[in-house]
Amino acid sequence: MATEPGAVVVSGTSTGIGEAIALHLAEQGFEVFAGVRREGDGEALREKADVTPLILEVTDELSVLAAADLVTRAVGERGLAGLVNNAGVAIPAPIEFQPLADFRRQLEVNLIGHVAVTQAFLPLIRKGGGRIVNIGSVGGLLVLPLNGAYSASKFGMEALSDALRLELREWGIHVSHVDVGPVHSAIFGKTYAQLDGLKTTLGDHGHGLYVGQIAAVRSATEKAEATADPPDVIARAVLEALTASNPHTRYLAGHGVKGIAAAAKLPDRARDKALAKELGLPAPE
């Protein structure tokens, strides 16, 4: 290990990937400030491991600043060994009919919120000689229908990681990006509910237009859930990014992710044709 366990902030730790990251880092000796939106989630997490719950709503500037102040007072001159930007949300819908509030919500949580958190905690990263790990998604490499807003935010995270890596190299601050494949978490249940609720969201006309794509994406989601990895796979990649003497700039975490990354590099028409076949999308009229 090039970096000894120190203090680390992880956002979005209430469930799934974020929870697994917080618990794994705590087990490895890190002092974990686990970002949650509700006190109850923080208490539930603290019952599982020695972590410090941190109220952190990444879309609320005052919440972000308050969290940074609390951590600053707690770590003092030690600073931070790491910041893991993980919070995220997915709200599927065709762009033609998706409420702009839902589109904006995904950009605010999945991208802009991480910029706000990074800005707030970078002084502590500098002080502690720490690192930044951004949790991305295969949705930032390859776009599926009904997932345009989500992928827009995740493609943005790819750009954010690249920019930070170049900007912070002058001071030796490592920035790693983890592209995550399907992982067992509450997101599957939420996705099914949202897809099933599209008839209400889109109305009869909009739902009628996209019913074939909705069915195809739901079926693909079910297949992804059946072969999903445990979230510990991601937690281990984050640990390596925080501690390795020569961390990767990018981690492809989960089975099948390398294949998805390769498919993303196909020419546009070839990629579209392959995706349409794989998903069983309706043929052009």
Between the two ends of the chain, the Cα-to-Cα distance in Å is 57
Write down the catalytic residue from 150, 192, 210, 251: 150
CA-CA distance, 82 to 125, in Å (whole number)?
7
Phi, psi (5° rounding) for residue 248? -70, 155
Q: Which of 16, 3, 63 has the alpha carbon at shortest distance from 180?
A: 16
Specify the pairing of strand 82-85 against strand 7-10. Answer: parallel
Asked about 192 being catalytic, the answer comes back as: no
Q: List residues bridging with 85 in a β-sheet.
A: 134
Residues 95, 219, 272: CA angle, nearest 5 degrees:
55
Where in the sequence numbering do the catalytic residues fall?
A: 150
